[in-house]
Amino acid sequence: MHNKVYIETEKKMKKTVEILRNELVKIRTGRANPGLVEDIKVESYGTQVPLSQLTSITVPEPRQLLIRPWDKNLLPDIEKAIQKSGLGLTPTSDGVVIRLNLPPLTEENRQNISKLVHKIGEENKIAIRNIRRQSIETIKQTKDDKEISEDDEKKMEKEIQKLTDIYVEEIDNILMSKDKEILES
């Protein structure tokens, strides 16, 4: 029982951190990053398809994305999807590829993006704490059902708390790194 709760808790916490990483990739900093556009949905032959499945996305310069569709007929649809995405980027096409130039961020934009990053990070820390709470409730229930002793309960709760501390610290490190990237670029 002990290992099962611990492993399940760790799995959920890892997933929460992974979700945070994926969310932060999509947040614009001063540098070009394919993650910024790869999930944009493009109308392709009657279905909505992520941009990453229709193109190759590269970073030829620090502030530019180069989008090369595998089917040139989709260029107008890709341009429309990028314009509708709300990223505030204007695609320029030469008939073969689309270039996205990322303008430098103003100081006010940087501060707002930094606040957004910290808000997202705090939501993920809350998710980690909720996972801890659920695990501790499970441990208490097994103790109430007399499947484990009180000593085992305390030991397991300590281990879950250590795990929580590790993942909250990892989130803090991710946020510091992203904040540095936003404020420096």
Which of 92, 165, 181 is CA-nearest to residue 128? 165
What confidence tens digit (pLDDT) does each residue in 108-163 have? 888 888 888 999 999 999 999 999 999 999 999 988 888 888 888 899 999 999 99
Q: Find the DSSP H helices in 26-106.
A: 75-84
Plot region of 95 (φ>0 → left; ψ -120 to 50 → alpha; else → beta): left
The CATH class, in words, for 2-26+106-184 is: mainly alpha
What are the percentages of helix, strand and coil residues in the chain, rounded to 5?
65, 15, 20
Q: What is the pLDDT of residue 9?
A: 94
What confidence tens digit (pLDDT) does each residue in 9-64 have? 999 999 999 999 988 887 777 777 888 888 889 888 888 888 888 889 888 888 88
Q: Is the dihedral of CA 101, 107, 109, 111 positive or negative?
A: positive
Q: Please, which residues have CB within 8 angstroms of residue 48's CB and are 6 or more apart in sequence?
A: 41, 42
The CATH class, in words, for 34-101 is: alpha beta
Where in the chain are the domains? 2-26+106-184, 34-101
What confidence tens digit (pLDDT) does each residue in 48-107 have? 888 888 889 888 888 888 999 998 888 888 888 888 887 777 888 888 899 988 888 788
> In sequence order, what E strands does the chain have?
41-44, 47-50, 55-61, 64-69, 91-93, 98-101
Under the banding of pLDDT at 50, 70 and 90, the label for residue 8 is very high
Could you tell me if 85 and 37 are in contact, meaning their C-beta atoms sit under 8 angstroms apart?
A: yes
